[in-house]
C-alpha cells in the first residue's frame, strides 16, 4: 500500500494538483462581478461548479450559460474547456510514457508498440501532436459552423465566428456547454449543425494514441495496435447500438423524436447516442425522454470514450477488456485473448479495479444525492452518472439539487475526470514480485 501511495504521489499527483489549480483559478475569475450579468446574482458555489464542469469538460450547469454569464464569463469558460480538454489528452498520453519508462523491457516495448512513435523522452512530441490534432479539428468545425450561422441563420460575421469557435471547442473537448438556453434543440432539424458537432465529439473521444497509430497505418487496419482496434471498434459498436436503441425507444415520443420526420428521428437518435459518450450537448429535451431511454443513456455515459481522450467514463478499452474476460471464462479458455493477442492478467485486474471502483463511486453518489434531494432514483442516477462520466446531459434537476447536491456533483466530476486516469497509471506502475505463493483454496462462487 505504501508503494501504491508513492506511485500516486509522483506523476498522478501532478495531474491532480494541476487540475485543482486551474479549477480554483477559474472559480476566482467567475466570481468577479465582470463575469456575471448585472441582473444576475453570482455565488461562489455556482462559480466553483461551473469552473469544475468546464475544466473537467462535463457541461453540467447550475446557471444558464447564455443568460447568466457575460462575454467575459463565457470566454473564461471557453478557456477552461480548452485547458481541460487539451490538458487531459496531453497528461494522459504523458502518463502512458511514464508507465512505459517504469516497466520492464518487454512491457516497455509492448507499450511503445501500442502508441507507435511514443517512447520515453517524447513528451514534447506528444504535446505538439495533441496540439496539432486539437487545432485542426476545432478549426475545421468552427469554419463549418460559422459559415452555417451566417448563411442559414443570418448571424453577423463576428457573432457567427464566436459561436462557431465556442461550440467547436465545446464539442472537441466533449465539454457540452452551449450558448443557447435549449442547448442545440433549435437545430434538431439542421444536419449542417448537428452532424459536424457529433463527428467532432467522436474525434475528441478517440484519444491521441489512436491518432498516432492512424497517422501511419490508417489504410491498413491489420497493422493497427490492439488499443486502436478496440477503441475504434467499440466506438463504432456503441454509436450504432446507441443510435438504434435510442431511436427505437423514442420513435413515437411526441416530446422528443415523435414530431420529426423519419430521417430526422434517426439523426436526432444518432446525435443523442454520440453525446452520451461524453459530448453533453442535446438536440431534444432529455427531461421528456422515457425512463428506459435514460437507462440506455446511463450505460453509454458510464462506459464513455477512449483512453487519453477528452471524453470521460471508465473508457471503452476497460469495458472491452472485461467483455473479453467474460467471454474467455464462458468458453473455458485459460488465457484472455483479444485480436490474437493475449491480455496480461495484470491488465485484467486493472480493468476490473477501475470498473468496480467506478460502480462504487456512482452508487455512493446516488445514495448521497437521494438523501439530499427529493427527486426519484431514475433522475438522480442519470445526473450522477452524467457527472461521473463528465458528460453533461441532464434531466433538468441540476439547478434544483441545492448547495449540498452541487458539491456532491462537483466531487463526482473531479473523481470521474481524474480517477480513471490517475488510478490506471498508479496501478500500472505498482508492479511487485513475490518470492512465495500462498496455498490455493477455492471458495464457492455463484
Structural domain spans, the chain: 2-429
Q: Which residues pair with 69 in a beta bridge?
A: 36
Task: State the residue for C-alpha cell 498520453.
Answer: 93
The closest of 37, 41, 80, 43 to 58, measured between CA atoms, is 80
Task: State the residue for C-alpha cell 457540452.
Answer: 176
Exposure on the CB side of residue 430, measured as CA atoms within 13 A: 19
Residue 248 neighbours by CB under 8 Å, 6+ apart: none
Q: What pLDDT tens digit does each residue of the chain (446 aa) get?
A: 445 444 444 556 667 777 888 899 999 999 999 999 887 767 888 999 999 999 988 999 998 898 899 999 999 999 999 988 887 777 666 665 555 544 443 444 344 443 444 444 466 777 788 888 899 999 999 999 999 999 999 999 999 999 999 999 999 999 999 999 999 999 999 999 999 999 999 999 998 888 888 888 888 888 888 889 999 999 999 999 999 999 999 999 999 999 999 999 999 999 999 999 889 999 999 999 999 999 999 999 999 998 878 888 999 999 999 999 999 999 988 889 988 888 888 888 888 888 998 999 999 999 999 999 999 999 999 999 999 999 999 999 999 999 999 999 999 998 888 776 666 555 555 555 666 677 877 686 67
To the nearest 10 degrees (0 to 180), the angle between helices 71-102 and 44-55 is: 50
Cα-based distances in Å from 157 to 6, 72, 153:
53, 19, 11
**309 Rama class: left (phi>0) / alpha (psi -120 to 50) / beta:** beta
Q: Please report which residue ranges of 105-225 form alpha helices under DSSP H.
A: 105-114, 123-153, 157-172, 191-204, 208-217
Which DSSP helix (H) or strand (E) runs through 337? strand 337-338
Residue 405 neighbours by CB under 8 Å, 6+ apart: 369, 372, 373
| CA–CA gap between residue 407 and residue 44 (Å, rounded) | 11
| CA–CA gap between residue 70 and residue 36 (Å, rounded) | 5
| CA–CA gap between residue 178 and residue 217 (Å, rounded) | 36
All three cell numbers of 66, joined, read 447564455
Amino acid at each position: 500500500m505504501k508503494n501504491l501511495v508513492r506511485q500516486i504521489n509522483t506523476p498522478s499527483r501532478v495531474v491532480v494538483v494541476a487540475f485543482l489549480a486551474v479549477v480554483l483559478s477559474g472559480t476566482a475569475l467567475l466570481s468577479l462581478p465582470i463575469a456575471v450579468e448585472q441582473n444576475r446574482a453570482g455565488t461562489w458555489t455556482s462559480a466553483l461548479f461551473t469552473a469544475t464542469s468546464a475544466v473537467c469538460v462535463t457541461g453540467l450547469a447550475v446557471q444558464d450559460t447564455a443568460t447568466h454569464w457575460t462575454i467575459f464569463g463565457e470566454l473564461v469558460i471557453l478557456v477552461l474547456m480548452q485547458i481541460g480538454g487539451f490538458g487531459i489528452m496531453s497528461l494522459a498520453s504523458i502518463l502512458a510514457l511514464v508507465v512505459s519508462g517504469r516497466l520492464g523491457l518487454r512491457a516497455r516495448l509492448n507499450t511503445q508498440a501500442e502508441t507507435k512513435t511514443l517512447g520515453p523522452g517524447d513528451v514534447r512530441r506528444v504535446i505538439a501532436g495533441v496540439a496539432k490534432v486539437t487545432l485542426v479539428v476545432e478549426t475545421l468545425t468552427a469554419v463549418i459552423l460559422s459559415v452555417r450561422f451566417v448563411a442559414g441563420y443570418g448571424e453577423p460575421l463576428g457573432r457567427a465566428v464566436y459561436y462557431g469557435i465556442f461550440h467547436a471547442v465545446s464539442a472537441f473537448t466533449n465539454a457540452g456547454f452551449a450558448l443557447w438556453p435549449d442547448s442545440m434543440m433549435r437545430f434538431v432539424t439542421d444536419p449542417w449543425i448537428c452532424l459536424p458537432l457529433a463527428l467532432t465529439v467522436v474525434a475528441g473521444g478517440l484519444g491521441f494514441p489512436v491518432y498516432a497509430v492512424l497517422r501511419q497505418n490508417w489504410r491498413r487496419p491489420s497493422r493497427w495496435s490492439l488499443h486502436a482496434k478496440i477503441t475504434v471498434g467499440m466506438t463504432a459498436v456503441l454509436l450504432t447500438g446507441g443510435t438504434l436503441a435510442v431511436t427505437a425507444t423514442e420513435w413515437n415520443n411526441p416530446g422528443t423524436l415523435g414530431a420529426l420526420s423519419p430521417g430526422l428521428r434517426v439523426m436526432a437518435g444518432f446525435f443523442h447516442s454520440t453525446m452520451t459518450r461524453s459530448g453533453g450537448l442535446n438536440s431534444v429535451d432529455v427531461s421528456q425522454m422515457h425512463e428506459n431511454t435514460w437507462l440506455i443513456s446511463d450505460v453509454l455515459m458510464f462506459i464513455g470514450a477512449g483512453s487519453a481522450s477528452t471524453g470521460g467514463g471508465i473508457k471503452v478499452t476497460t469495458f472491452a477488456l472485461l467483455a473479453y474476460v467474460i467471454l474467455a471464462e464462458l468458453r473455458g479458455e485459460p488465457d484472455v485473448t483479444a485480436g490474437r493477442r493475449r491480455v496480461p492478467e495484470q491488465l485484467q485486474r486493472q480493468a476490473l479495479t477501475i470498473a468496480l471502483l467506478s460502480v462504487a463511486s456512482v452508487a455512493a453518489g446516488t445514495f448521497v444525492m437521494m438523501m439530499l434531494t427529493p427527486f426519484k432514483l431514475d433522475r438522480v442516477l442519470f445526473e450522477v452518472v452524467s457527472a461521473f462520466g463528465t458528460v453533461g446531459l441532464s434531466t433538468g434537476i441540476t439547478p434544483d439539487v441545492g448547495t449540498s447536491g452541487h458539491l456532491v456533483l462537483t466531487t463526482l466530476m473531479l473523481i470521474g475526470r481524474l480517477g480513471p486516469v490517475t488510478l490506471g497509471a498508479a496501478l500500472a506502475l505498482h508492479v511487485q514480485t513475490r518470492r512465495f505463493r500462498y496455498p490455493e483454496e477455492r471458495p464457492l462462487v455463484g
